[in-house]
């Protein structure tokens, strides 16, 4: 399943949540010029929509039937995907006890009913400005300085999150590890400045292979990169990896020191987790709540696939299903030696 179209990052997304449709429309008129507005009239609907669009700000009615605003806010802050979204409570409550409870649940601010439109606009702009600054700081902290793609820190964070989502929903997940063939020989022959330029070019090809907003290209370390593909099955991941190999070859970066080809090539190893094909997480793993370990398992399987691609001749794609790891087929001499042998270039 492919995700929706990429959203314009310069236009903020604001989610308005109130069980009274007329109140939603009144607030929408006030905030029409502040961003793209989305609406929900219940707590569960608000959580579902927030997970779908990941808004930049949520204005939340505190007194909703069923799931209260406080409960919705607490659920948002408990979700790693949503916890950084600022929440402004809209409430007729004015007592200190309610505000204390709201801040304890994770609220960023309060707007009283009946509200003053100018005050609403000022508070919303203030929260959106703070969110933009936080996002920019986070972007710098999670971007590889040399290549401009995501760094290992962000990859680990998103991988854990996407594995948990796949674990809960049964959707497929693929991880592609990519290694530049004979990169040490490239550096020795052309020098490190040329090596840096090569890394940037390959990173650009990797980023160009990301066809959807959910796809993530990252530098894994050294001359190794990763491509995380949510909602992507084995065939889809193979298509992406083959397209990447072709893109790198079309760069025609000279590599006269390579015994493989006169230009730079890459190898790719793919790990696939697809519950629909029987590759689900074992029940005993769920009972022990080892979601993070299972995400690491996906990396280990991709590592084996990349090792097989390189020992099989390089400049090719190899796919390994997570089920091989679960049944013990990846262990033995191969698993023991893959890291040291593969890192030789």
Q: What is the DSSP string of 231-286?
A: T--HHHHHHHHHHHHHHHHHH--B-TT-SS-SB--EEEEEEEE-GGGT-PPPHHHH
Percent share of the chain, pLDDT over 90: 67
User: Residues 101, 103, 107, 113: is their CA dihedral positive or negative?
Assistant: positive
Which pLDDT does position 77 carry in this prediction?
93
Q: Pairing state of beta strands 109-112 and 36-40?
A: unpaired
Which pLDDT does position 3 carry in this prediction?
30
CATH architecture of the domain with range 13-141: 3-Layer(aba) Sandwich (3.40)
**Quick one: which of 223, 184, 220 has its CA closest to 201?**
223
**Quick one: which of 13, 28, 19, 11 has its CA closest to 115?**
28
pLDDT band at 321; cut points 50, 70, 90: confident
Q: At what angle do helices 96-105 and 69-78 cross, to 10 degrees?
A: 30
Which pLDDT does position 296 carry in this prediction?
85
Asked if residues 248 and 202 have their Cβ atoms less than 8 Å apart, the reply is yes
pLDDT in tens, 254-280: 999 999 999 999 999 999 988 655 444
More confident residue, 285 or 108: 108
The beta strands (E) that lie in 9-93 are given as: 13-17, 36-40, 57-61, 87-91
Which pLDDT does position 154 carry in this prediction?
93
Once rounded to an integer, what is the mean pLDDT over residues 74-100? 89
pLDDT band at 331; cut points 50, 70, 90: very low
Highest-confidence range of 64-68, 202-206, 282-286, by mean pLDDT?
Answer: 202-206
Asked if pLDDT for residue 57 goes beyond 90, the answer is: yes
Fold of 152-342: Alpha-Beta Plaits (3.30.70)
- What's the mean pLDDT when you consider all of the chain? 86
Once rounded to an integer, what is the mean pLDDT over residues 303-312? 96
Structural element, H or E, at residue 176: strand 173-180
The set of catalytic residues is 223
Which pLDDT does position 338 carry in this prediction?
53
Which pLDDT does position 129 carry in this prediction?
94
CB burial readout 85-111, b (16+ within 10 A) else e: bbbbbbbebeeeebeebbeebbbbbbb
Highest-confidence range of 1-10, 87-96, 172-181, 296-305, by mean pLDDT?
Answer: 172-181
Which pLDDT does position 9 carry in this prediction?
54
Once rounded to an integer, what is the mean pLDDT over residues 153-182? 91
Q: Pairing state of beta strands 109-112 and 317-321?
A: unpaired
Which pLDDT does position 329 carry in this prediction?
56
More confident residue, 120 or 282: 120
Once rounded to an integer, what is the mean pLDDT over residues 102-117? 91
Which neighbouring-strand residues pair with 224?
A: 179, 221
Backbone angles phi, psi at 144, to 5 degrees: -70, 125
**Quick one: which of 318, 317, 271 has its CA closest to 294?**
271
**Quick one: which of 42, 41, 43, 34 has its CA closest to 14?**
34
Once rounded to an integer, what is the mean pLDDT over residues 121-149? 92
Of the given ranges (26-40, 156-170, 208-222), which has the lowest mean pLDDT? Answer: 156-170
Q: Pairing state of beta strands 13-17 and 57-61?
A: parallel
Once rounded to an integer, what is the mean pLDDT over residues 308-319? 96
Domain ranges across the chain: 13-141, 152-342
Which neighbouring-strand residues pair with 175?
A: 228, 271
CA-based angle 209:210:213, to the nearest 5?
Answer: 165
Determine the Cα–Cα distance for residues 93 and 62; give it in Å rounded to an integer.
9
């Amino acid at each position: 399943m492919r995700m929706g179209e990429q959203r314009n990052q310069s236009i903020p997304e604001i989610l308005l949540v109130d069980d009274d449709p007329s109140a939603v429309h009144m607030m929408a008129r006030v905030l029409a010029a502040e961003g793209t507005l989305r609406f929900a009239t219940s707590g569960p609907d608000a959580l579902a929509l927030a997970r779908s669009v990941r808004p930049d700000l949520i204005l939340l009615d505190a007194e909703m039937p069923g799931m209260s605003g406080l409960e919705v806010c607490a659920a948002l802050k408990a979700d790693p995907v949503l916890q950084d979204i600022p929440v402004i409570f809209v409430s007729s409550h004015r007592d200190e006890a309610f505000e204390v409870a709201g801040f304890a649940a994770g609220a960023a601010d309060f707007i009283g009913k009946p509200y003053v439109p100018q005050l609403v606009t000022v508070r919303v702009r203030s929260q959106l400005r703070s969110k933009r600054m936080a996002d920019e700081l986070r972007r710098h902290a999670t971007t590889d300085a040399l290549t401009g793609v995501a760094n290992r820190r962000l990859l680990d964070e998103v991988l854990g999150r996407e594995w948990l989502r796949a674990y809960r929903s049964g959707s497929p997940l693929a991880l592609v590890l990519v290694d530049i063939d004979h990169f040490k020989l490239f550096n020795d022959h052309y020098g490190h400045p040329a090596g840096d330029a090569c890394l940037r070019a390959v990173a650009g090809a990797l980023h160009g292979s990301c066809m959807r907003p959910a796809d993530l290209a990252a530098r894994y370390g050294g001359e190794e990169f990763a491509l995380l593909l949510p909602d992507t099955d084995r065939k889809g991941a193979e298509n992406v990896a083959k397209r990447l190999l072709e893109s790198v070859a079309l760069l025609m970066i000279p590599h006269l020191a390579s015994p493989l080809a006169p230009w730079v090539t890459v190898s790719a190893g793919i790990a696939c987790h697809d519950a629909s094909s029987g590759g689900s997480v074992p029940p005993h793993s769920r009972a022990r709540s080892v979601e993070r370990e299972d995400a690491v398992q996906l990396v280990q399987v991709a590592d084996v696939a990349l090792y097989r691609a390189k020992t099989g001749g390089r400049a090719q794609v190899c796919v390994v299903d997570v089920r091989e790891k679960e049944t013990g087929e990846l262990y033995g001499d191969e698993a023991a030696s893959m890291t040291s042998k593969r890192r030789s270039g």
